Amino acid sequence: MADKIKILSAGAVKPGLAKVIDAFRSETDHEVTISFATAPAIRKQLAGGEEFDLVIAPPDLLDEVARTGKALAADRVTVGRIGVGLMIRHGAPVPKIATVDEFKQSLLNAESIVYNQASTGIYLESLFDRLGISAQLAAKTTRYPDFAAVRDHVSNGKGSEIGLGATTVIIESASKGLKFVGPLPAEIQNYTTYAATVMADSPAGDAAVSLLRYLTNPQARAMFTAAGIE
C-alpha cells in the first residue's frame, strides 16, 4: 500500500525538487504533496504545530528543529547549494555585473531594486552595507515576503528595475517575463545550502526515509544540477 508523504520545502529548490519528486512518485507509487515557503515562513509553520514528514530548509533552521526534538538529527541529507543572481524584465536594458564595481554602479543607476525578505534578502542587506551603498539604495528598494512577488514586480515594470534572488527560480521564470542577467560576481557571491530531514513524528515513517535517501541518488543529483542546484 502506497504511503502519503507531506513535504515542507524552501522555494529556492523547487525547480529541481519538483522533477525529483515526480520521478520518485512514478517509481514508488507513493503520494507526495509539497508546500513551498520561505525560511521564516517554514519556521513559523513548524512552530505553529503543522505536521510534515520531510522538511527541506537551510541547515541552521533544521538545527533549530532538531533541538526541539521534532526532527531526526541522524536522518539529514544535503540537497545542494544555490547562489544569488540578478534579473530584469524581458526587453529592459541589460546591466553590467561582471565585476563588483560594475554591479555597484548598475544598482545605483537602476530606478528600483527588488528582492525578498528571506535568506537571499538578509544576505543582500548586509552586502549593500559592506559595499557602502545602502543609503543610496534605501529609497528605491522594495522587499517582498517571497520570490513570486519579486518576480511579478520586475516582470510588470516599466523602467530599469533590477531584481535579485536565487538563481534557480530566476532561471525557471524565463517564461514569465524575466531575463536572467547572471550570478553575482564571485567575490561577493553567497550560497545558501539546503538540506532535508525527516520529522520525528512523521506518519509516513519508512516511506519518508526512503524519499530522503532518494534525494541523493545519481538520477536525483543530475536533476538538481540541471536546475542550478550545485
Closest CA to 79 of 142, 124, 27, 20: 20
Distances in whole angstroms, Cα of residue 64 to Cα of each of 42, 68, 121: 12, 7, 20
Closest CA to 85 of 93, 74, 72, 97: 97
Closest CA to 195 of 220, 170, 167, 215: 215
DSSP classification of residue 12: G
Domains annotated on the chain, with CATH: 4-81+193-226 (3.40.190.10), 84-188 (3.40.190.10)
Torsion of CA 67, 69, 75, 76, to 10 degrees: -30
pLDDT tens digit sequence for 134-182: 999 999 999 999 899 999 999 999 889 999 999 999 998 988 999 999 9
pLDDT of residue 39: 86
Instruction: Please state whether 205 falls in left (phi above 0), alpha (psi between -120 and 50) or beta.
Output: left
Q: Which residues of the chain have pLDDT under 70?
A: 1-2, 71-74
pLDDT of residue 17: 96
